[in-house]
Amino acid sequence: MKKYNGYLLDLDGTIYKGKEPIPEAVAFIQKLHDQQIPYLFVTNNSTTSPEKVAVRIRDMGIPCEEKYVLTTSMAAASYITTNPYKQTAYIIGEDGLKEQIRSAGIQEDDEEPGFVVVGLDRQVTYDKLAKACLAVRNGAHFVSTNADNALPTEKGLMPGNGAITSIITVSTGVEPTFIGKPERIMIDQAVNMLGVSPENTVLIGDNYDTDILAGIQAGLDTIHVETGVTSSKEAALKSIPATYSISSLSEWNI
Amino acid sequence: MKKYNGYLLDLDGTIYKGKEPIPEAVAFIQKLHDQQIPYLFVTNNSTTSPEKVAVRIRDMGIPCEEKYVLTTSMAAASYITTNPYKQTAYIIGEDGLKEQIRSAGIQEDDEEPGFVVVGLDRQVTYDKLAKACLAVRNGAHFVSTNADNALPTEKGLMPGNGAITSIITVSTGVEPTFIGKPERIMIDQAVNMLGVSPENTVLIGDNYDTDILAGIQAGLDTIHVETGVTSSKEAALKSIPATYSISSLSEWNI
C-alpha cells in the first residue's frame, strides 16, 4: 500500500448508505482529519449546495467543512469561467446549480446564452427543454453536470440528469460536455483544490463506472471499496481495474 | 411505371408544404379520386384527430374524408388492442393520442398499466416522465408513436417525440416499440385499411429516412417525390433506393 498525501472521496456508498454512515468510513476520515491529510468529497449531485452537503456529513459524525466539498454544480460553474465564450447561461436545474452559476458571475440568459447548462431538474418542462434545444442549435456550448441515467428514490428509480440531458442531445445531435464522474473535469478541479500532486492523490469510491473510472481518466490511483454499488468480483473483471480493491476502509492504512 | 391499385401518401412535403398545398399533388389526388383508386394519408402526427387532418386537407381543395387518414395515435391504439397484455395505458401525449386510446376501449392507469404510450406532449413534465419510467421498470410494455427527433416550428426546431421518448429509454434501458414511420407497424395497418394487396400498393413520400424507409420495411414499392426533405441526389445515394424517384407528382401516370 502506497502512502498518499491527498484523498478524494465519493459520498453515497463510500461514506454513507442513504441516511446511514458507514462506521469504517467514519473512523477512516477521522484519522485523515487527525493526521491533517487533505481530503475532499466529490459528488455528482448538482441540486444542493456544498454547505448543505457539509452539514449532512458533519451530522453523521464525520469531520467536514464546506471547503472540503466539490459538487458538479461548482465544477460546472468553474468550467464555464475558464472558457473563452460569452459568460451567460440558460440553466435547466435546481437551486444548487443556479446558485453556483450565479455566484461565479455568470448571468442567466434564455435567448442567446453562451452556454446551456443542464443539471437534474425535477420541475423540468417541455418549454425549458425547447429553450435549451433552440439555444444549442444557435451555437450555445452545451454542458451537463453528469450522465447519471437513474435517480434512486423511495418510489423507485426516477429519470436522472443523463436522461434529461439526452432529450437535448437526441433532438439537436449535439453531445454535451459532461462535468461529473466518470469524466475527468471535476476530478481535475478536485486535485487542484486539494493542492496535492496527482501522483500523491488517490480517489476512493464504490461505483466502478462513475468513481473509479473518473479517477482512472484523471490519471489518479484509485481504491475501490465494496460498500456500495460495485462488488469486488465485478470490479476485478474490468479491463482496467482499480489500483486497490478492499472490502471496507478499515483495511486501508494511511 | 407499374400500375398500382392502392396509394399510401405522406402529408407534409408530399401533399402540402406547411400551409400551402402542392399543386401537382392536388391534381394527382383528384385523379385518384375520380378514378376511384383507393388512397390513404399516413401521418406520424399523434397530436391531432383524423377528422381534423381530413378537414385540413379538404380545405386545400384535396378530396379527403376521415376514413382516408391514419395517424400514429390510431395505429398505436390499434397496436395495443391486438396485443395480449393488460388493456390499460399510462399516456404521455396530447388530445389526439388520448382520444384514440380511449375510443379503442383502453383505460388510463398511471399506477400499474399494461402499456406506457408516448406521443408528442408539449406539456410534458418531470412528473409525467417519472411515472412512465416507473411503469416501464415495473414491466409495462413501452410504445412510442414515432421517433422524430425534431419538430419544425416558427421559432425553430423543437424537441420531437423521439427526443421525449429517449428520456425513458435512457433512464430505464428499455427500447420502445415505435409505431410510426420509418417502422412498418403503421404501414402494415394502412395496407389493411386500404384493402389492396401489398404487391399492388405503393407508398409516396418526400422524406427518405421516414416515408420511403417505412415503405421498404413493409415490403412495398415506393415513390420518392422531390418536393420536401430529401433531394433526389440524396435519395439516389441510399443503399436501398426508392422504387421510383420523381420531381413532382405531375410526372406520375396512374
Q: What is the pLDDT of residues A20-75, one digit of tens each?
A: 999 999 999 999 999 999 999 999 999 999 999 999 999 999 999 999 999 999 99
Same domain, A146 and A91: yes
Share of residues in chain A with pLDDT > 90 (%) = 98
Q: Domain check: are A130 and A114 in the same one?
A: yes
User: Is B181 part of any known ligand binding site?
Assistant: yes
Does B191 lie in the same domain as B172? Answer: no
Closest Cα to residue B162, out of A182, A201, A217, A172? Answer: A172
Among candidates B150, B178, B154, B136, which has minimal Cα distance to A129? B150
- Does residue A58 sit within a domain? no
User: Which pLDDT belongs to residue A42?
Assistant: 98
Residues B38 and B23 reside in one and the same domain = yes
Domain endpoint, select from B178, B193, B218: B178
Active site residues of A: 10, 12
Residue B80 lies in a domain: no
String of DSSP letters for A44-58: ---SS-HHHHHHHHH
A165, A187: one domain: no
Identify whether residues B108 and B171 lie together within a single domain. Answer: yes
Which pLDDT score, from 0 to 100, does residue B170 have? 97
Report the alpha-carbon distance of residue B37 to residue B39 in Å, rounded.
7
CA distance B50 to B41: 10
Mean pLDDT of the region B133-162 = 96
When scoring B47, B167, B172 by the number of chain A Cβ atoms within 10 A, the one with the most, hence best to mutate, is: B167
Range of the domain at A190: 6-44+182-251
Q: How many contacts (CB atoms, under 8 Å) link A and B?
A: 103
pLDDT in tens, A121-134: 999 999 999 999 99
- The confidence band for B1, taking pLDDT boundaries of 50, 70 and 90, is confident
Half-sphere exposure of B115 (CA within 13 A, CB side): 29
**CATH number of residue A162's parent domain:** 3.40.50.1000
CA distance B167 to A51: 31
Q: Examine the fold and report which residue of A178, A206, A224 is the final residue of a domain before the chain moves on.
A: A178
* Rounded-to-integer distance, Cα B84 and Cα A129, Å: 36
> Does A192 share its domain with A147?
no
Q: Are residues B172 and B245 in the same domain?
A: no
Residue-level pLDDT at B5:
98
Is there a domain that residue A61 lies in?
no
The answer on pLDDT for B18 being more than 90 is no
Q: Would the pLDDT of A112 be above 90?
A: yes
Do A109 and A159 reside in the same domain of the chain?
yes
- B148: nearest CA partner in chain A: A171
Shared domain check, A151 and A163: yes
B148 has catalytic annotation: no
Last residue of a domain, one of A163, A178, A193: A178
Query: Which helix or strand (DSSP H or E) is residue A117 part of?
Result: strand A115-118
Provide ipTM, 2 decimals. 0.91
Q: Are residues B92 and B167 in the same domain?
A: yes
Place of cell 481504491: A223
Average of per-residue pLDDT across B213-238 = 96
Identify whether B225 is part of a domain.
yes
- Residue A1: its pLDDT value, please? 82
pLDDT digits (tens, 9 = 90+) for B29-44: 999 999 999 999 999 9
3-class DSSP state of B115: strand
Q: How many domains does chain A have?
A: 2
Query: Quick one: A204 and A216 in the same domain?
Result: yes
Alpha-carbon gap: A177 to the closest alpha carbon of chain B (Å): 17
Read off the pLDDT of each residue in A128-145 and give the average, rounded to a whole number.
98
pLDDT exceeds cutoff 90 at B100: yes
Nearest to B159 among A130, A149, A155 (CB): A130
Average pLDDT score over chain B: 97
Q: Which B-chain residues 114-143 have CB contacts (< 8 A) with chain A? A: 121-127, 129-130, 133-134, 137-138
A158, A161, A175, A178, best to mutate vs chain B, most B CBs in 10 Å = A158
